[in-house]
């Protein structure tokens, strides 16, 4: 089996995260270590490996400082099945809503997709060959008869095509002909030609009606039942396609045939168990107020209790088989404004031994966030404006001012962290965005004065500031 876990060192992980997230070094280090420990565990002898359980993490920090962002970026690095779920979306077993076990089912689903994609990658070359042969045959048939009939179902016997009823339905193109067509096909000369093809129809959307109502088990069974009904599974539809599109479809179809789905599901279960990561966002939202023993708080505590066995290690049924959760890594995050970590049910606190606090962000961080990350906001706006033929520039002083306004807006109103930059930038560039399509100047430079002129009136008018910034 391929390697279960990516083997980035903690330093490499942190430096990768650094490209997108400013500061928050402790949180980055914690997740980097956790990720590396998955790899370390794989290297340990069998018996000890079973004993080593993941050290789950809680990230604590105000809103908009990068908790979710860290998780998102980590998932790209992890090369492991990863899902992010909102703890607040779950309801206690027995109530209407998603039960907590569904996250493990989703994780297994992610793993299956992942492994399937890997398998498809591996059979790519053979799939391409098979697809080409089918295309050549279709084209040869078409060139001979002037049309392509449903030869797809016909078998090739010697030089003949034989229908499912056993009748000879045509003669196969001779070798020279086939070779000529193959050569043309390879050179791309036939790309624009039309051929007819039987295409499998997409999955039936019927079942999604049940989604999110705690009826997932039923949904799973229904889906399986339906896909086993004749006529539901291999439903095909004849379509006319350009050769180059047909080639893509055929490659996909051939790859599908070559992938051993049993192997994929078996491996997916192992990978989910050995390297799966669940990011539990908004964990503080399932904390009941201390002393409240009625109403929604009871149910929230119920969610925590349902979470316990999963975090601690239990077995969850999925449509791919049972998944043991003992070694799945959980990273929880929450603002913990009102509730504290100590308000979580004690058993759950114990399952998350690593706590990291994220720092709230100030003006200096904002300056860096505006300019440094690969996906920095200023770069996003520049890219958007360049589509209108405008080169957008910000002077250093302008960035300084923008960061300053964002920081002071956070001080005066609610502190929404780096999210404030979005509202400030939007307010600042509103006029440019609106008029950009009609402008004739090629370069627009935003300097400190522009920033002040636009933002000062908004900041000074308290009502205006409240809903714009």
Ligand X SMILES: Nc1ncnc2c1ncn2[C@@H]1O[C@H](COP(=O)(O)OP(=O)(O)OP(=O)(O)O)[C@@H](O)[C@H]1O
Site residues (vs Mg ion, CB under 5 A)? 67-68
DSSP 8-class letter at 284: G
Using CB under 6 A as the binding rule, whether residue 418 contacts ligand X is answered as: yes
317 binds, among ligand X, Mg ion, none (CB under 5 to 8 A by kind): none
Binding-site string for ligand X from residue 377 to residue 406, where x marks contact by CB under 6 A and - marks none: ------------------------------
Using CB under 6 A as the binding rule, whether residue 371 contacts ligand X is answered as: no
Encode burial over 19-49: b for 16+ CB neighbours within 10 A, e otherwise: ebbbbbeebbbbbbbbbbbbbebeeeeeeee
What are all long-range contacts of 156-165, with beta carbons under 8 Å and residues at least 24 apart? none
CB atoms within 10 A of CB 278: 23
Retrieve residue 358's tokens.
């994220």
Stretch of 58-66, 202-210, 228-236, 291-299 contacting ligand X, by CB under 6 A: 58-66
Q: Measured from the CB of residue 281, what is the shortest distance to Mg ion in angstroms?
A: 5
54 binds, among Mg ion, ligand X, none (CB under 5 to 8 A by kind): none
Residue 369 or 469 with smaller CB distance to ligand X: 369
Is 264 exposed, middle or buried, given 0-12, 13-18 or 19+ CB atoms closer than 10 A? Answer: buried
65, 362 Cβ separation under 8 angstroms: no
Stretch of 63-71, 77-85, 251-259, 425-433 contacting ligand X, by CB under 6 A: 63-71
Binding-site string for ligand X from residue 213 to residue 252, where x marks contact by CB under 6 A and - marks none: ----------------------------------------
Q: What is the dihedral of CA 22, 27, 32, 33, to 10 degrees?
A: 150
d(CA 429, CA 123): 49
Query: Which one among 118, 241, 373, 448 touches ligand X, defined by CB under 6 A?
Result: 373
417 binds, among Mg ion, ligand X, none (CB under 5 to 8 A by kind): ligand X
Residue 332 or 392 with smaller CB distance to Mg ion: 332
Using CB under 6 A as the binding rule, whether residue 283 contacts ligand X is answered as: no
81 binds, among ligand X, Mg ion, none (CB under 5 to 8 A by kind): none
402, 451 Cβ separation under 8 angstroms: yes
Residue 68 or 382 with smaller CB distance to Mg ion: 68
Helices 363-371 + 396-412 axis angle, to 10: 130
Q: Measured from the CB of residue 377, what is the shortest distance to ligand X in angstroms?
A: 8
Using CB under 6 A, which residues numbered 15 to 44 contact ligand X? 21-24
Give the angle 161-163-167 at the CA atoms, nearest 5°.
90
Longest dimension (CA), the chain: 86
Distances (CA, A) of 58 to 30, 186, 283: 10, 55, 9
Stretch of 66-74, 117-125, 153-161, 233-241 contacting ligand X, by CB under 6 A: 66-74
Interface residues with ligand X (CB under 6 A)? 21-24, 61, 63-69, 335, 369, 373, 417-419
């Amino acid at each position: 089996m391929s390697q279960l876990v990516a083997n980035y060192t903690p330093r490499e992980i942190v430096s990768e995260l650094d490209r997108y997230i400013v500061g928050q070094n402790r949180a980055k280090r914690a997740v980097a270590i956790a990720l590396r420990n998955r790899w370390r565990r794989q290297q340990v002898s069998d018996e000890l490996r079973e004993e080593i359980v993941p050290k789950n993490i809680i990230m604590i920090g105000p809103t908009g400082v990068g908790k979710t962002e860290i998780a998102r970026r980590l998932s790209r690095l992890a090369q492991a099945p990863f899902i992010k779920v909102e703890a607040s979306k779950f309801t206690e077993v027995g109530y209407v809503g998603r039960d907590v076990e569904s996250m493990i089912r989703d994780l297994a689903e992610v793993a299956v997709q992942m492994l399937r994609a890997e398998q498809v990658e591996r059979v790519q070359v053979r799939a391409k060959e098979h697809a080409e042969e089918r295309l050549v045959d279709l084209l040869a048939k078409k060139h001979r008869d002037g049309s392509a009939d449903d030869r797809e179902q016909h078998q090739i016997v010697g030089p003949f095509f034989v229908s499912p009823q056993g009748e000879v339905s045509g003669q196969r193109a001779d070798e020279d002909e086939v070779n000529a067509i193959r050569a043309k096909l390879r050179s791309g000369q036939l790309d624009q030609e039309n051929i007819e093809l039987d295409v499998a129809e997409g999955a039936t959307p019927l079942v999604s009606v049940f989604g999110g109502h705690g009826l997932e088990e039923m949904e799973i069974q229904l889906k399986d039942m339906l896909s086993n009904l004749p006529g539901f599974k291999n439903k095909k539809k004849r379509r006319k396609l350009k050769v180059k599109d047909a080639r893509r479809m055929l490659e996909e179809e051939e790859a599908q045939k070559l992938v051993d789905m049993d192997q994929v599901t078996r491996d997916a279960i192992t990978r989910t168990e050995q390297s799966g990561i669940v990011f539990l966002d908004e964990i503080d939202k399932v904390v009941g107020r201390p002393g409240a023993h009625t109403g929604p708080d009871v149910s929230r505590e119920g969610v925590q209790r349902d979470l316990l066995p999963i975090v601690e290690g239990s077995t969850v049924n999925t449509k791919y088989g049972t998944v043991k959760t003992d070694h799945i890594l959980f990273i929880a995050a929450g603002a913990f404004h009102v509730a504290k970590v100590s308000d979580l049910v004690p058993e759950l606190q114990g399952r998350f031994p690593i706590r990291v606090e994220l720092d709230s962000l100030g003006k200096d961080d904002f300056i860096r966030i505006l300019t440094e990350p690969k996906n920095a906001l200023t770069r996003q706006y520049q890219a958007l404006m360049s589509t209108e033929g405008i080169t957008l520039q910000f002077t250093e002083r302008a960035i300084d001012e923008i960061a300053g306004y964002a920081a002071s807006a956070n001080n005066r109103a609610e502190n929404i962290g780096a999210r404030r930059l979005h509202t400030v930038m939007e307010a600042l560039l509103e006029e440019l965005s609106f008029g950009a399509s009609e402008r004739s100047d090629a370069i627009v430079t935003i300097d400190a004065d522009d920033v002040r002129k636009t933002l000062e009136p908004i900041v000074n008018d308290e009502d205006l500031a409240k809903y714009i910034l």
